[in-house]
A and B are shown apart, each in its own frame.
Chain A
Amino acid sequence: MTEAAPQFISWSWIAENFSDTIVPAIIGHVYLSAVSVAIAVLISLPAGILAAKRRGLYAPITAFTGLLFTIPSLALFTILVTVPGIGIGPNAVIIALVAYSLLVLIRNVVAGLDSVPAETIDAAKGMGLTSRQILFRVELPLALPVIVAGVRIATVTVIGIATIGAYVGGGGLGTLIFDGINRNFSTMVITGAVLATALAVAADLLLLGVERYLRPWARRKQEEAA
C-alpha cells in the first residue's frame, strides 16, 4: 500500500505507446468509419433516387432501414459475429455501421431531390434536357448539399458507434477504451474517448465545410446580406 494510487492520466504511457498503439487505433477507427459511410452512400444514392422517383417505394424502404436503425448496436454486432462467413473482426462492424447509416442517408437523398424547385425542373425539361441530364445536371447538384448534410450526420453517428465495435474485434479507438476498462487503467479509457470525440468533431467540421463549398450560390448571397 505504499505505492501511490495510479495517476488519472499517465502522460508517459501516452508517449511510449503513441506510435505502436494509439496511431494504429486512430487509423483503424478512420478506416471503419470511412469504409462504412462510403458503402452506405453507394447503396443510398441509387436507393434514394429510386424512392424519390417512385414514391410507392419510399415507405417500404424507410420502414426497412428504420427497423435496422432501431436494433441496439451491441446486439447487432454480436448477432453478425455468429453469422457464418462474417465472424469476429472489422467486417461485422462495417456491415452494422452501413445498416445504421442507410436510414438517414436515404432520407436525405430523397429530401434533397424533393427540395429542387418544380419550376426549375419544368424549365429544364422545357428547354430540352433529357431526364438523365435533368437528374445529373440539375437535380443532383441542387440536392447535393442536403445529401452531404446526411453524410455528416451518418459519419458522426458511425464514428460514435464504431467504438463499440472493438467489443467484437473491430479494432479502432474502442480497443483503447475496452482494454483500459479491463485493466482499470484510466489513461487508456480517456485517450480512446477523447480521440473518438475529436475525430467526430473533426469529421463534422470537415463535412460542414464541404456542404458550404457545394453551395456557392447561397454562400454568395449570405455574404452580400452580411
Chain B
Amino acid sequence: MIEFREVSKVYPDSDAPAVRELSFTIPDGEICVLVGPSGCGKTTTMRMVNRLIEPSSGEILIDGEPNTAMSGTELRRSIGYAIQQIGLFPHRTIAENIATVPALLNWSRDRIRSRVDELLELVGLEPDRYRDRYPAELSGGQQQRVGVARAMAADPPIMLMDEPFGAVDPITRERLQDEFLNIQQNIRKTVVFVTHDIDEAIKLGDRIAILEQGGTLARYDTPENILSEPGSEFVASFIGGDRVLKRLSLTRVGEVELEPPNGEKDLPRIDERMTLRDALSELLGRGAGKGVVTGDGGVRGAISIDAIREMFRTGETPRD
C-alpha cells in the first residue's frame, strides 16, 4: 500500500508548486494510473515514491512506513522502475541488463541466471535467442519488454512505470498493454503507472488519478466511476466527449449476460472477446439490431443493441 499524505513539491527555480498537497492511497496489487496534461506533475509524483525526487512537504508511506525510513538507494532497489526511454545499458547484454538489481542485491549466479530466463519467457522473448544480445540489436518493442522485465527482476512488490509503452507504434503498444495486464493478473504488483494517454489509463488502471495543471488531484477513482460521473468540467473534457463509448470499452461481450440464441440466420457474428464498444460498432456497421456471440466452444448466445443500451442505462456493466 502506498499512501500520499499532503505531498507537495516546489522546484527551487519556480514559485508555483509542481505538485500541490496530494493525498491518496493506492491499495496493494492494484494499478494506479497517474494521468493528466503535460506539466501536471504526474512524473514528479511518481518519482517521489522512490525518492528520485524528494517532496518539499508531506510524506509518502509504503506499507505504513515513511519511505524515508531507509536510504534512497536501498529504497530504489526494492521498487521496480521502468521508463519510456527505457534506458537499457547499451554496453551490457540483455541478460546483464535484467540482472542489474539482483546483482546489486548479491544474488547467486545460478539464481540470477534462472530468474533472467524466467523473465525473458514471461515477456515473450526466447531466452536462448535474446539473452546474450545487446540492446541495440533489438527492436523498440523488444527493448521495452526488456525494460519491463528488468523492472520486475528482483520481484519488487511495487513498480513505477513512466509511459513504459510510450516509445512504440500503436499496434505494438496495444499488444504490450495486453501482455502486461496478463502478467499483472498473476503477479499482482502495486503499480504506479504514468501516462498522458487517457485511453491507456482507462485500459490499464484499477484506479485513475487525474491531475490538473499545477499538480492538484482533480479526481481519484475507478475508470468506471470516472466515466459514468466525471464530476467536473476539467475531468469531463480530459476524458473526452466519447466517454460513454469509453465506458463500453471497459467490458467484454463475454462478461455480460447474453440472450439465448434463437437460431436466427444471417446475424453478424460477435466474438465474445470483443469489447461492448466494438460489438456495438459492429452491429451498427452491419445495420443489424442483434448479433450472435461466438466463443471457443461455438455459439454462446446473442446480444442486441437494445440490451447494450439497457445495460448502460442501469449501469450494469461489470468490469470483472
Contacts and interface: CB of A to CB of B under 8 A. Distances in A.
Interface stretch (B69-77, B188-196, B242-250, B309-317): B69-77
30 contacts: A117-B85, A117-B90, A119-B83, A119-B85, A120-B88, A122-B52, A122-B87, A123-B81, A123-B83, A124-B87, A124-B89, A124-B100, A125-B52, A126-B50, A126-B87, A127-B77, A127-B100, A127-B104, A127-B150, A128-B74, A128-B78, A129-B100, A129-B104, A133-B104, A142-B90, A215-B91, A217-B135, A217-B136, A218-B136, A221-B137
Nearest to A137: B89
B85 to A, nearest CB: 4
A127 B149 CA distance: 13
Interface string A112-140: 00000101111111111110010000100
A220 B138 CA distance: 12
A3 interface: no
Of the four ranges (under 10, 10 to 19, 20 to 34, 35 or more), the interface on chain A belongs to 20 to 34
Contacts of A221: 134, 136-137
A138 B77 contact: no
Interface string B101-142: 100100000000000000000000000000001111100000
B163 to A, nearest CB: 12
Contacts of A85: none
A216 interface: yes
B91 A141 contact: yes
A224 B100 contact: no
B160 interface: yes
A78 to B, nearest CB: 45
Nearest to A131: B73
B86 interface: yes
**Residue among B74, B91, B100, B147 with the highest chain A CB neighbour number at 10 A:** B91
A153 B73 CA distance: 39
Main SS at interface, chain A: helix
Contacts of B160: 126
Interface in B36-86: 50, 52, 73-78, 81, 83, 85-86
B89 A120 contact: yes
Interface string A134-165: 00001001100000000000000000000000
Contacts of B137: 220-221, 224
Interface of B: 50, 52, 73-78, 81, 83, 85-91, 100-101, 104, 133-137, 147, 150, 160
Lowest 8 CB-CB distances: which A-B pairs, in order? A123-B87, A128-B77, A119-B85, A126-B81, A128-B76, A217-B134, A119-B87, A221-B136
Contact of A128 (B73, B90, B150): B73
A122 B75 contact: no
Given A126-B76, A130-B73, A217-B136, A119 B86 contact: yes
Given A120-B87, A120-B88, A126 B52 contact: yes
A127 B76 contact: yes
Given A128-B77, A129-B73, A142-B91, A123 B134 contact: no
Contacts of B134: 216-217, 220-221
A223 to B, nearest CB: 10
Contact of B104 (A123, A128, A138, A220): A128
B135 A127 contact: no
Contacts of B90: 117, 120, 142, 217
Contacts of A123: 81, 83, 86-89, 147
Given A216-B134, A221-B134, A221-B136, A117 B87 contact: yes
